[in-house]
Chain A
Amino acid sequence: MEDLVQLSIAQGCATITLRRPDARNALDFPIIQALADAIARTAKRIKENSNEIRVVVLAGEGKSFCAGMDLKAVMHDPIQMGQMLRQLSMTLLALRQLPVPTIARVQGAAIGGGCGLIVVCDFAVTHPEAKLGYPEVDLGVCPAVVAPWLIKKIGAGPARAMLLCGGTMKGDEGFTRGLVTHCSPIDQLDATVATLVARLVTGGPHALACTKKMLNDLDGSNDERIAIEAAELSAKVIAGAEAQAHLSRHFSAHSRSNSER
């Protein structure tokens, strides 16, 4: 499990890296568990020593940050699918509740559940050509787990339009629509993250923890009930005939286009 998600700490910054680059860091059950574990370890270390970790960066190894839920292997197994969604939902909640600022470093694609990870973070840095969004409804799937976080990020009206229309957008449009907080040329992605980290580590840790707690209290981020309900709803929809038919078509089209290459 250690291999799938790496936690490294340097100069007050903890970096949590998804490491399944061959699958564009798609979220299967083991990687979600490994992510949950890395977040729990981070939270524990902050609790033990509030000076060691002052900011968390969430990153993905390889060409893409995260291609979303890895549905192909489990699409015909509703029980396992439900477990995955519940685990993801609780992991997003735990990520939000880290008492330090969080930054997603987003290169390539952040789609579906991957785009969920970035809107849960306090900041997200991407580049203009990145591919972002929630194409769940295109696949007959309900983006219930990410919806509460997206609403908190961009507001209820824009979130409604974005989730109901599905599809994806480029990084610069994601910046305009509020999905990400920073957009810079890809060769300056690390520099932009570093500048933000440098600013955040100068803040008083108790002061930042106080602000973050207040933000979470006020925007309803601590509502565990919604996180659970969201996973149940999403699991129910995905097990239905409509989603199954859409997903089958999607994956067979995908394997055709892959074998044609």
Chain B
Amino acid sequence: MTSNEHSLVKTESEGRSFTITLNNPAMRNALSTAMFDDLEDAIERATTSAQRDETTVVIFRGMGKAFCSGFDLAECVNDQTMLEQFVRRLGAICSALRTMPAIVIAQVEGPALAGGCAIIAACDIVLASDSASFGYPVHRIGISPAVSLPTLMATVGFGGARQLALSGEIIDAQRAKALGLVHLVACDESALEVQVSTLVKALLLKGPQALRATKLWLNQIDGTSREGFLGSRVDNAIDATAELCAGNEALSMIKDFWNKRKGGS
């Protein structure tokens, strides 16, 4: 079963695994309105399939040289309400991935930055190639990675999350592994492909009920369950960020950043 070829997100379901592929390599899989539309649709279908007990493992990947470079700022630079909408939609996606009753594996090649890193931090297991990089370089455009913090802090611990979120530093795959964001680093893309399919096969041999129960129990313990704190924490983060998005700081910083980038390229 393959989705519409024109979609920015491809989905493919094979047996009990469901693959979501960001498919806009020319734009480094940036999160635009159209990308959000298609991604939300894909995640909803994966979730429904998992709830029907037809899917146990979801693989999340990006086509091309970058996993995902974050928000498409072209849409935000002249319309600040768009930025707030993007933050809301990203928060909802992080919650959906974390609470989905299936094991979500991120397969990361190239940069996974800002919103792209938020997606990674919401997944259960992250496998990366040596080319992968991670980080939240967002304060320089006047916004906060707050919506990612509830899942990031649960995944890498408070100390690593503080360093990564405040510094805006972009880290390589080995450093991400040391921080606990990445589970395994493969030497190149084909090795990564092999590692992911090995992991998927291994997971599919296990009891799907046990896997699902384990994931949801881990969410309860680390405060990222749907019934627990995740919803309210992400909502708080969205409210706090929405104020920033509407402020002059973000407006002028995004404009400056955008003009410099356009001037530079």
Say whether A and B bind each other.
yes
Contacts known (A122-B166, A206-B249); A214 close to B157, Cβ less than 8 A: no
- In the bound complex, do residue B138 and residue A212 qualify as a contact, i.e. CB atoms below 8 Å apart? no
0 or 1 for each of A189-201: is its CB under 8 Å from B? (1 = yes): 0000000100110
Task: Report Cα–Cα, A218/B145, bound state, in Å.
Answer: 13
Task: Report Cα–Cα, A123/B149, bound state, in Å.
Answer: 17
Report how many A-B pairs have Cβ atoms within 8 Å.
96
- In the bound complex, do residue B144 and residue A211 qualify as a contact, i.e. CB atoms below 8 Å apart? yes
Of the candidates A101, A153, A215, the one having the most CB atoms from chain B within 10 angstroms of its own CB is: A215
Interface residues of B in 99-152 (CB under 8 A from A): 138-146, 149-150
Least distance between A141 CB and chain B CB atoms (Å): 24
0 or 1 for each of B167-203: is its CB under 8 Å from A? (1 = yes): 1110000000000000000000000000000000000
Task: Report Cα–Cα, A219/B165, bound state, in Å.
Answer: 13
Across the interface, B241 reaches (CB within 8 A) one of A202, A210, A215, namely A210
Interface of B is mostly: helix
Residues in A whose Cβ lies below 8 Å from that of B167:
101, 123, 181, 196, 199-200
Across the interface, B149 reaches (CB within 8 A) one of A196, A202, A214, namely A214
B250 within 8 A of A: yes
Interface residues of A in 130-180 (CB under 8 A from B): 152-155, 178
- In the bound complex, do residue B250 and residue A154 qualify as a contact, i.e. CB atoms below 8 Å apart? no
Task: Report Cα–Cα, A203/B169, bound state, in Å.
Answer: 12
- In the bound complex, do residue A211 and residue B146 qualify as a contact, i.e. CB atoms below 8 Å apart? yes
Contacts known (A208-B139, A213-B240, A214-B240); A203 close to B158, Cβ less than 8 A: no
Of the candidates B140, B143, B144, B145, the one having the most CB atoms from chain A within 10 angstroms of its own CB is: B144
B244 within 8 A of A: yes
Chain B interface residue number, banded? 35 or more
B9 within 8 A of A: no
A108 within 8 A of B: no
Residues in A whose Cβ lies below 8 Å from that of B249:
204-207
B28 within 8 A of A: no
Task: Report Cα–Cα, A153/B253, bound state, in Å.
Answer: 31
Residues in A whose Cβ lies below 8 Å from that of B237:
214
Task: Report Cα–Cα, A196/B144, bound state, in Å.
Answer: 18
B interface vs A, CB < 8 Å? 138-146, 149-150, 153, 157-163, 165-169, 233, 236-237, 240-241, 243-244, 247, 249-250, 253
A interface vs B, CB < 8 Å? 101, 122-123, 152-155, 178, 181, 196, 199-200, 202-208, 210-215, 217-219
